[in-house]
């Protein structure tokens, strides 16, 4: 099927334009998650240009799809892996282990062993128990100590769950030294979809002080991993990435000479590179508003409405200028499965298409098949060619 479908669209046609979307749904059904390789590359190149000298490790979790891994592999990206499944995906996509780090702060011994077997040698820890787990692997693994910097203005504040207090870095490094475990440096993640670079800047400056302190016994000049958090546009426009990274670059210049800087962008690389396409299964007028029931919802690709607090730009693919108060709901029988209540949409007929923009991050990756409604099929396109289908093949 894929072989004969390979050239699905005119290479000059934007795969996110109405004509392309209609053609793809006619052939591959609905719901779909369409990934555009050209946009993935553009995001990677734009962030790489905004952070020169910083090694970008794609955090796979927002969109763990083989096509994306292969596109970024070919761009020269490195990878941030956090589970056996992600390691397996990297392996299948032919990613060299030397380009990967393991960043989950809490791991079972079996997780450490499978990462080591793949060839990863850099891990993250943020507490004494986790450091002790590496005693028996000290010849094969080194650590980054994850530091917590609370980030009230990030949409998802990750330092609530992981990371040690800055004052605990020195004792944790001492414990590692006592166990002959190498500490390569520090890492942090200020939280996803950061609204301003302020927390990145403060965290980098705090880490610069720690990496300069004689009390912190780690490799010199060492490594600083500045995590992810780089924001994208949803219904609210985010700061352009060039502006976001300017103060970050200035803060990085305060690091001791020679520190290797890495970052773990996830959302920024994939969110704008995919759209969700769903079909109206049925409709009803309730209390003066049109309710449209789609074949995808918050238990599917729109899970990010709940888990990720994301406000996707949603609209009908076609339709007249006249708009009416409308609600978009998912297909399941659960009342929480409502995507958006206060929309203004053209009058939609059963079978018409609805598109969600910037749906590459934390959408399909977090979707379930509750009520046996299948997850969206994934189609990755590169200048008119389908490069991967649902199973990533």
Ligand X SMILES: Cc1ncc(COP(=O)(O)O)c(C=O)c1O
Q: Given the rule CB under 6 A, which residues bind ligand X?
A: 59, 61-62, 80, 103, 158, 189, 192, 227-230, 264-268
Q: Which residue is nearest to ligand X (CB)?
A: 228
In whole angstroms, what is the distance from residue 210 CA to residue 223 CA?
A: 12
Residue among 60 and 181 whose Cβ is closer to ligand X: 60
In whole angstroms, what is the distance from residue 122 CA to residue 15 CA?
A: 38
Least Å distance, CB 148 to ligand X, is: 12
Residue among 151 and 326 whose Cβ is closer to ligand X: 151
Least Å distance, CB 188 to ligand X, is: 9
Least Å distance, CB 228 to ligand X, is: 2
Residue among 101 and 348 whose Cβ is closer to ligand X: 101
Residue 14 phi, psi dihedral angles, 5° rounding: -65, 125
Indicate the burial class of 229 (C-beta count within 10 angstroms; 0-12, 13-18, 19 or more): buried
Contact between 309 and 303 under an 8 Å Cβ cutoff? The reply is no
Least Å distance, CB 78 to ligand X, is: 12
Least Å distance, CB 57 to ligand X, is: 8
In whole angstroms, what is the distance from residue 120 CA to residue 80 CA?
A: 10
Cβ density class 199-223: b for 16+ within 10 Å, e for less: bbbebbebbbebbeeeebebeeebb
DSSP state of 240: P
Least Å distance, CB 290 to ligand X, is: 34
Beta bridge partners of 192: 156
In whole angstroms, what is the distance from residue 103 CA to residue 29 CA?
A: 37
In whole angstroms, what is the distance from residue 199 CA to residue 201 CA?
A: 5
Residue among 63 and 316 whose Cβ is closer to ligand X: 63
DSSP state of 147: B
Q: Please tell me whether residue 244 adopts helix, strand or coil conformation.
A: helix
Least Å distance, CB 124 to ligand X, is: 7
Residue among 103 and 326 whose Cβ is closer to ligand X: 103
Residue among 107 and 267 whose Cβ is closer to ligand X: 267
Least Å distance, CB 56 to ligand X, is: 10
To which residue do tokens 């079978």 refer? 351
Residue among 27 and 161 whose Cβ is closer to ligand X: 161
Residue among 62 and 197 whose Cβ is closer to ligand X: 62
CA 311 to chain centre: 16
């Amino acid at each position: 099927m894929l072989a004969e479908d390979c050239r699905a669209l005119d290479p000059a046609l934007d795969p996110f334009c109405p004509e392309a979307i209609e053609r793809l749904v006619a052939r591959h059904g609905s719901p779909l998650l369409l990934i555009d390789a050209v946009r993935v590359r553009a995001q990677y190149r734009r962030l790489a240009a905004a952070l020169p000298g910083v090694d970008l490790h794609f955090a796979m979790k927002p969109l763990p799809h083989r096509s994306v891994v292969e596109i970024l592999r070919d761009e020269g990206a490195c990878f941030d892996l956090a589970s056996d499944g992600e390691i397996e995906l990297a392996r299948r996509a032919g990613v060299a282990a030397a380009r990967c780090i393991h960043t989950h702060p809490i791991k079972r011994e079996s997780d450490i062993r499978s990462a080591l077997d793949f060839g990863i040698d850099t891990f993250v820890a943020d507490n004494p128990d986790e450091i002790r787990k590496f005693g028996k692997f000290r010849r094969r693994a080194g650590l980054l100590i994850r530091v917590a910097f609370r980030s009230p203005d990030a949409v998802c504040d990750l330092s609530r769950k992981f990371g040690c207090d800055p004052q605990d870095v020195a004792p944790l490094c001492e414990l590692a030294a006592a166990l002959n475990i190498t500490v390569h440096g520090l890492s942090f993640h200020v939280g996803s979809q950061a609204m301003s670079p302020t927390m990145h800047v403060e965290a980098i400056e705090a880490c610069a002080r720690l990496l300069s302190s004689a009390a912190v016994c780690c490799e010199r000049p060492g490594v600083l991993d500045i995590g992810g958090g780089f924001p994208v546009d949803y219904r609210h426009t985010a700061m352009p990435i060039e502006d976001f990274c300017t103060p970050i670059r200035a803060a990085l210049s305060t690091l001791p000479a020679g520190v290797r800087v890495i970052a773990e962008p996830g959302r920024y690389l994939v969110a704008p590179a995919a759209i969700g396409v769903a079909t109206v299964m049925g409709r009803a007028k309730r209390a003066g508003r049109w309710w449209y029931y789609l074949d995808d919802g918050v238990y599917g690709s729109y899970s990010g409405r709940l888990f990720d607090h994301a406000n996707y730009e949603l609209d009908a693919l076609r339709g007249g200028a006249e708009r009416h108060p409308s609600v978009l709901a998912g297909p399941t029988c659960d009342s929480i499965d409502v995507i958006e209540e206060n929309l203004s949409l053209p009058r939609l007929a059963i079978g018409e298409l609805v598109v969600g923009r910037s749906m590459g991050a934390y959408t399909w990756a977090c979707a379930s098949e509750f009520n046996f409604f299948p997850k969206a099929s994934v189609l990755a396109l590169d200048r008119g060619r389908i490069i991967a289908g649902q199973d990533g093949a």
